[in-house]
A = this chain, B = another copy of it.
Amino acid sequence: MYIGTKGDYGIRALIDLAMYGGAGPIQRAEIARRQHIPEAYLDHLLAQLRRAGFIQSTRGPGGGHQLNRPAAEICLLHALETLEGSLAPMPCLEDHDDGESDSVCAQQWVWREIYDDMRARLQAVTLADLAAREQERLRALATSYSI
Copy total for this chain: 2
**What 1/0 mask marks residues of chain A from 1 to 18 whose CB sits below 8 Å from any chain B CB?**
111000110011001000
Residues of B within 8 A of A118 (CB): 114, 117-118
Report the contact-size class of chain A (Cβ under 8 Å from the partner).
Answer: 20 to 34
Q: Which of B12, B88, B109, B133 contacts A133 (CB 8 A)?
A: B109
Bound-complex Cα distance A95 to B128 (A) = 29
**What 1/0 mask marks residues of chain A from 95 to 127 whose CB sits below 8 Å from any chain B CB?**
000000000011101110110011001100100
A→B interface (CB under 8 Å): 1-3, 7-8, 11-12, 15, 76, 88-91, 105-107, 109-111, 113-114, 117-118, 121-122, 125, 130, 133-134
